[in-house]
Amino acid sequence: MAGQTLYDKLWMQHKVFAERDGRTLLYIDRHLLHEVTSPQAFSGLRNAGRKVWRRDANIATADHNVPTTDRSAGISDPTSRLQVETLDRNCADFGIEEFGMMDPRQGIVHVIAPEQGLTLPGMTVVCGDSHTATHGALGALAFGIGTTEVEHVLATQCLWARKSKSMRVWIDGELFPGVGAKDLVLAIIGRIGTAGGTGYAIEFSGPVVQNLSIEGRMTLCNMAIEAGARSGMVAVDDQTVEYLRDRPFAPDSVYWGRAVSAWRTLHSDDDAVFDRDVHLSGNQISPQVTWGTSPEMVTAIEGCVPDPKTAPDAVRRQAWENAQRYMDLTPGMPIMDIAVDRVFIGSCTNARIEDLREAARIARNGRKADSVRSVLVVPGSGLVKAQAEKEGLDEIFRQAGFEWREPGCSMCLAMNADRLEPGERCAATSNRNFEGRQGTGGRTHLVSPAMAAAAAIAGHFVDVRNWK
């Protein structure tokens, strides 16, 4: 018998009950909640007179709607305010711990859970949010769910699921200086397409992944969903263990040794067989920039906007034409000639301390181009913000003419006041370039933090490998 994949192990360990046809009741160790996808779940519980099954497995925070400017005055948009207050009330009523808007630990749910040690190797982690895949970076099985499933987890601590197929994405070699996890994951999506991972759980592995920091692995797993996969994961290694040491919710000295030995088993066996294998070479990856309205519409910085006539099929040809019309780009245009109006550095993909350090490295001694209207730097959490300020990164950003904000989702999806005006073009470190994602009529180019900072200073996309 072939060995087990990491996914096999995680799946097996959480089986509560399996039907003969494979439908499985999975136990959920950690449930994360935020204000947008939970209100209807709590009202469902109330209407049915149900209780929360296991309160200590849940943790909540407000991130999507919160303002990134001074919060002492509260939230001015009444519907946003009501949604955040509803979360506060629901958590109080049902006895769930919440990091409220004024809590220093508040932040984007996918940033704060690993940071607090709320995500641990071997856990199943779910959240009413597709970017839950992020937590797989710590050797957890993590996936996004809808609101009815949120209610189901609250009431039963379980979910019904069917096992996915397994895909291994193996990245050989090494990345050039200036090329990071974001470029890597965009290149992977460019290769397999936005539906390429549908039906699969992806394990990222190989020398390049081993050399990535935990933050970088989170960037990678975060965008597994952009390749269609509900979950992405990376095996546990020394880095994982070191990352978790002394985190507030990580096991204390009583259990640490036992926990670590359990975590050490969380990797695919050498003889494990995957349903699909994808290989990339890190040495061939350039900084990436998306040119379209789907993350798979991506190319290298030295590339050009492609000609729809060269699209692989008629459906995609049509999609490329639509996207280029929306993005106001013409085939053959060099990516480096694309000028941006705004820059957004933030989101659960790229708002951890390492991302801000990368952006600051580029911004140091630079100055935002006059043609760029604003550059928003939005840390992923209150603790990331504090750390960045301790390192003086906020000063570097301010001196470069960038705005230094409070933590939250911000212009990743523009549910708060941070958004693009129609027609504006943005270099963004977030994960979705869909039509209208950052504001109705807004145009998004996905890039790494270094590339975003460089675009802010140059006024157009540049190759950060040549940055002086």
Partner 1 sequence: MEAFTVVESVLVPLDRANVDTDAIIPKQFLKTLSRQGLGQYLFYDWRYREQESHMVPNPGFILNQDPYRNGRILLTRENFGCGSSREHAPWALADYGIRAIVAPGFAEIFANNCVQNGILLVSLYEADVEGLFRKTAAMKGLSARIDLAEQILRTGDGQVYPFHMDPSVKHKLLHGLDDIQVTLQYQEDIRAYEAGRRLQMPWLFRET
Partner residues linked to 17 by β-bridges: 25
CA 381, CA 112: separation in Å to the nearest integer? 6
Amino acid letter at 126? Answer: V
Q: Which of 117, 113, 108, 134 is nearest to 382 (CA)?
A: 108
> Which option in ligand SF4, partner 1, none does residue 319 bind, with CB closer than 5 to 8 A by kind?
partner 1
> Which option in partner 1, ligand SF4, none does residue 425 bind, with CB closer than 5 to 8 A by kind?
none
**Closer by beta carbon to ligand SF4, 188 or else 235:** 188
Burial of 266 (0-12, 13-18, 19+ CB in 10 A): buried
Is 108 near ligand SF4 (CB under 6 A)? yes
Applying the rule CB under 6 A, the residues between 419 and 458 that interact with ligand SF4 are 430-431
Is 385 near ligand SF4 (CB under 6 A)? no
User: At residue 114, what are phi and psi to the nearest 5 degrees?
Assistant: -65, -40
Is 375 near ligand SF4 (CB under 6 A)? no
| Cα angle: 419, vertex 36, 135; to 5 degrees | 95
CA 342, CA 403: separation in Å to the nearest integer? 11
Is 91 near ligand SF4 (CB under 6 A)? no
Q: How much is the CA Rg of the chain, to the nearest whole Å?
A: 21
- Least distance to partner 1, CB of residue 178, Å: 29
CA 410, CA 428: separation in Å to the nearest integer? 11
Strands 158-161 and 24-27: antiparallel
**Closer by beta carbon to partner 1, 102 or else 195:** 195
- Least distance to ligand SF4, CB of residue 444, Å: 12
- Least distance to ligand SF4, CB of residue 112, Å: 11
**Closer by beta carbon to ligand SF4, 171 or else 188:** 188
- Least distance to partner 1, CB of residue 22, Å: 9
Q: Where are the beta strands (DSSP E) in 54-111?
A: 58-61, 97-99
Is 101 near ligand SF4 (CB under 6 A)? no
Q: Which helix (H) or strand (E) holds 25?
A: strand 24-27
- Least distance to partner 1, CB of residue 394, Å: 28
CA 455, CA 468: separation in Å to the nearest integer? 14
CA 310 to chain CA mean position, Å: 31
List 64, 368, 437, 460, residue binding ligand SF4 (CB under 6 A): 64
CA 63, CA 69: separation in Å to the nearest integer? 13
x/- track of binding to ligand SF4 for residues 124-153 (CB under 6 A)? -----x-x----------------------
Is 464 near ligand SF4 (CB under 6 A)? no
- Least distance to partner 1, CB of residue 216, Å: 23
> Which option in ligand SF4, partner 1, none does residue 86 bind, with CB closer than 5 to 8 A by kind?
partner 1
**Closer by beta carbon to partner 1, 43 or else 211:** 43
**Closer by beta carbon to ligand SF4, 131 or else 385:** 131
Local structure of 435: helix, strand or coil: coil
- Least distance to ligand SF4, CB of residue 135, Å: 12
> Which option in ligand SF4, partner 1, none does residue 322 bind, with CB closer than 5 to 8 A by kind?
partner 1
Applying the rule CB under 6 A, the residues between 398 and 417 that interact with ligand SF4 are 409, 412-413
- Give the largest CA-CA distance in the chain: 64
> Which option in ligand SF4, partner 1, none does residue 348 bind, with CB closer than 5 to 8 A by kind?
ligand SF4
Is 219 near ligand SF4 (CB under 6 A)? no
Local structure of 116: helix, strand or coil: helix
> Which option in ligand SF4, partner 1, none does residue 108 bind, with CB closer than 5 to 8 A by kind?
ligand SF4
> Which option in partner 1, ligand SF4, none does residue 373 bind, with CB closer than 5 to 8 A by kind?
none
CB atoms within 10 A of CB 390: 10
> Which option in ligand SF4, partner 1, none does residue 347 bind, with CB closer than 5 to 8 A by kind?
ligand SF4
- Least distance to partner 1, CB of residue 39, Å: 4
Side-by-side strand order, sheet with 158-161: 15-18, 24-27, 158-161
Question: Do residues 295 and 194 lie in contact, with contact meaning Cβ atoms separated by under 8 Å?
Answer: yes
- Least distance to ligand SF4, CB of residue 431, Å: 5
Is 352 near ligand SF4 (CB under 6 A)? no
CA 300, CA 186: separation in Å to the nearest integer? 10
Is 418 near ligand SF4 (CB under 6 A)? no
Q: Which of 434, 40, 379 is nearest to 215 (CA)?
A: 379
- Least distance to partner 1, CB of residue 103, Å: 18
CA 366 to chain CA mean position, Å: 28
Amino acid letter at 277? Answer: D
CA 452 to chain CA mean position, Å: 16
Which parts of this chain interact with ligand SF4 (CB under 6 A)? 63-64, 108, 110, 129, 131, 347-348, 409, 412-413, 430-431
